[in-house]
Structure 1
């Protein structure tokens, strides 16, 4: 058996075991950054053409900021593509056919990610435009009922046409860019890398790692919305500070001593937060300055809720394993582990971007707690 075959199988060589890992620095991050800049440029150009007026100012700044903030989404796409390539053609695809196939797989997964971002952006534009149309109709009474319905339908059609035009543009752009990158590289794409003779390391259960990241991510999102809630109702701001500190404490506790008690408390606390969020978005909380008034659903609270659901799932899985007496330290493939980590980071970044903080606002000034009101206020001011 050749040396390359031994490395591909991850067997033990003269220098010790070969540890299989995702090539983050040499492959994933450069390719994801290249695609993020290109795809987000297309999204911003289409938004500037047909998007809501609130989101069309400073297109260059929006392009750079959103490319950076949406980079983790493209990282997930690249890691998934490399996993598919590794399964189909091996960790170092050789030959013209596998090389072309690698480019096409990378282009397909990254184009899907770009298409999802474009669709979400277009739907958000439609949401803002529909709110503006309703506000204008209620204020001026010039277009109501059937007229308003036709105007909203026309706005939706324009946004869907933008998506229909943008998706082929994303696909072609990604094929060309990734093919160009592979050609400049001058050698095959590496789907997985190896380190021979790696030092022994502590094996961390993948579920435990995901639990810690989900708790930290949710805490960061809650920290990002503290200023907004402090301005609305100080008690709510203090509550989110307490939640943030509790989640960070739980993450440290899980990392150092992942016992049954901390898993139960973390699961109960996370379920409580999800239930509280559901009540606040449906019936409204029975106290506060806006008692019994449902709050609008936003990107920040959706992201925090998703991370809390992940935390509950990880806690239950770890508790089930402990009850069955299964050994700890369960690990999956390097690509699956990398994709999960990148996905949690992506959800966290999206949540922070939807918090309404001026420096990171993904929704271009309308991502606050009362997004519809903000949109209507800007329309009225105009």
Structure 2
């Protein structure tokens, strides 16, 4: 029996794409964990599954193993569409549609690759054709490069989002004033000169009709 290398090619590309999506999901775990622990657990479990499935399908590209991967990635894609269209029905942002970001778009593209190549494997059955070694290696190499080019910016975007999430932006506790912002003067009034008889501070009111002199020292900001 001849080697059916188109079946192996499809599963190899699917495994590469699954691993790339898993790396992106690993990168976004910290940010999602800070927002909602259950969301962080979900992405962690999804990443572990995608890595494990990639290893399993390379070792044994049976129809059953491929079908599990296709079903799981189809579910992940469907969940992504749901969250971007109407939002989840539960959780801290229930009913709020989420904005699509670089990391999740690239991860979804890689999951679509798994879906397409896995479907190819399932539809081809056991009646595959044979490629010569050189074209086979070229396709595998090209697929690996494309997956790396797709996964790298997705990981960077996911890590950037995670770092920004813990950057100290306080929405609930109030905003921190920026350095150099003007401040109101303290409530303690300036000391007044005492009257000659020592009975107390001398009141120096301006004559009627004249504006009060500016008592702020030079260079001191005015509070409004």
What CA distance in whole angstroms lies between the structure 1 residues aligned with 2:28 and 2:10? 27
Within a 5 Å distance, the mapping from 1:46-57 to structure 2 comes to none
Per-residue CA distance 1:182-222 (angstroms, 9 max, x = gap): xxxxxxxxxxxxxxxxxxxxx68322221111111111100
Task: Answer yes or no: is 1:257 the counterpart of 2:67.
Answer: no
1:212 aligns to what SS in structure 2?
Answer: helix
- Verify the 8 A CA contact 2:18 2:50 in the aligned structure 1: yes
Q: Which moved further from structure 2: 333-342 or 269-278?
A: 333-342
List per-residue Cα deviations over 1:272-331 (Å, max 9, x = no partner). 0001001101111111100010111111000110000000001011111116x2246686
Matched, 1:326 2:128: yes
* Structure 2 residue matching 1:320: 3-state secondary structure: helix
Q: Any residues of structure 2 matched to 1:130-149 within 5 Å, and which?
A: none
Structure-1 separation of matches of 2:124 and 2:132: 10
Task: Compute the TM-score of the two structures, normalised by the length of structure 2.
Answer: 0.66
Question: Based on CA coordinates, which of the two structures has the bigger radius of gyration?
Answer: 2
1:274 and 2:69 equivalent? no
In the TM superposition, 1:320-359 aligns within 5 A as 320-322=123-125, 325-327=127-129, 332=135, 334-357=137-160
Aligned counterpart, 2:95: 292
Aligned to 1:177: none
User: TM-score, normalised to structure 1's length?
Assistant: 0.40
Tell whether 2:26 aligns with 1:211. Answer: no
> Counterpart of 2:111?
308
CA contact (8 A) 1:205 1:330 kept: no
Say if 1:218 and 1:308, in contact at 8 Å, map to a contact too: yes
Higher helix share: 1
Show structure 1 runs of 5+ residues with no match.
1-202, 369-373
Paired residue total? 168
Distance 1:292 1:381 in 2: 34
Going from structure 1 to structure 2, the CA distance change for 1:274 and 1:330 (only over 3 Å counts) comes to farther
Label 1:277 to 1:328 Cα distance change in 2 as closer, same or farther (>3 A).
farther
